[in-house]
Amino acid sequence: LHLSPSSSSSSSFSLLSRSQSPLSFSKPLLPQTSSLLPSSSSFSSSFSSSSSSSSVGMQSTDGNPRTKVAKSESDWKKQLSEEEYEVLRLKGTERPGTGEYDKFYPKKGHFVCKACEAPLYTFAAKFDSGCGWPAFDKCIQGSIKTEVDRSLFSVRIEIMCASCGGHLGHVFGGEGFTDTNERHCVNSVSVKYVDKELPGEYAGDGEGKILPTMAKG
């Protein structure tokens, strides 16, 4: 299924309302009773606000340690724009076709988390799924944290930055777009493109899928 951007939008970025959300393709990862993407008005308790900023070790989906960037919600509000905060911290969703990176296919470089700048995806992982949001078929190992999301009468797998917990989007499997058979549906506002090679400390991590790892758990 493909959704078109709202013709009434007055800017290049507009958020779906809390009761709206993008549709998945024919084979979502888990059964569902609704075509709506889950959303919530507050961030998960595992990444709740704190009175200070800090960095501590955490485990991502593949078990690799990552540095967790923890900030108070007031600090995030100061750092992020209104749209960025709505998506990254409150799990909002930008309208399809309005994102900066929807139709952007670089020949080099990588994408980082907009909130903490942790590397997430290489340029080679991005592909055209026609869904209206940036799509990636694999991630840098250890860069993504996942949670089962059952809000709004649906069952989805949410993907978040493993370093700061920022909401990226959702991951779907079994659609057959690429050899990995995995689609990371990501909000443009959640990431930033960097026109450089991966930093040395990440270059050796490689790229991989996350669904098989989740299935083992």
Contact call for residues 146 and 159 (beta carbons, < 8 A): yes
Calpha distance 46→6 (Å, rounded): 34
Calpha distance 138→126 (Å, rounded): 8
139 is catalytic: no
State how far the alpha carbon of 8 is from the alpha carbons of 4, 14, 86, 115, 151, in Å: 11, 10, 20, 29, 28
Which of 113, 131, 161, 185 does the annotation list as catalytic? Answer: 185
Enzyme catalytic residues: 185
